[in-house]
Structure 1
Amino acid sequence: MYETPAPFTYRDAYALAPDMADELYDVMQLQAHAGDHTADSPEKREFLLRRAAIYDRYAGGPDAPQWKIDADSEAIHSAVQLFDFDKRHHMGGSHYDVDHEVWKEQGLRAYVRQEYVTWLTARTEG
């Protein structure tokens, strides 16, 4: 059994995240500019990651909406899409890679948190 490392907790993963409205706007812009995201590109990965993080934030946040059941379902679905994309393209896995057994115990929403922290850190430091 693994203890949840700091970046995988909801609070730590999203502590420095942009305001939800700003993040939603950015993800909508990514989707609009990248079309249907059929190409396997870094832009598609960023879209999948940020969309999964939005659903995770909605589903797990302190102000989770009344439609939490749908948010949970979408958060899981979006996490699976990101995880599958990363596995197919040998991407991600900034701390624990996609084949690590921690994801069987922690779940793929924890994978989203790991990858979001890595992405956000690179974005703010770069």
Structure 2
Amino acid sequence: MPGPLHVRGSVVIPEAELGWRFSRSSGPGGQGVNTTDSRVELSFNVETTTALGPVLKSRALERLGPRLIDGVITIAASEHRSQLRNREAAEERLAGLIREAIAPPPKKRRPTKPSRGAVERRLAAKKRRSDVKRLRRPED
């Protein structure tokens, strides 16, 4: 479980850059509810990380902007009853967020126009519909 976090390919976040906090989880939990710290908060400082190059770091800072507090992103996990499973869930979510944030921008859309046949079919269908409606009208 402990160790570096593999985001994708060559992007690996060292364990030293991940901050963990544990607390009691809310909700039902039986006898151990008041004694186990199963809720997990995983923090990662995007601004000071060495795991991302300058281009990836600027891309991540731009895309994660609203979620960052002083350059730090925090993920909370409390859906499982065991701390280990919550740690795994938090790591998976952080890796997914970083993966999305550093993904290359999508390719530009090449504008296209409808083919001549498509335009003619559309106009023919409109003409047919117009004729049907015209024939339904009462004659004066």
Higher relative contact order (CA 8 A, sep 6+): 1
Pair member with larger Rg: 2
> Is the TM-score greater than 0.5?
no
Structure number with higher strand proportion: 2
TM-score (norm 1): 0.28
Normalised TM-score (structure 2): 0.26
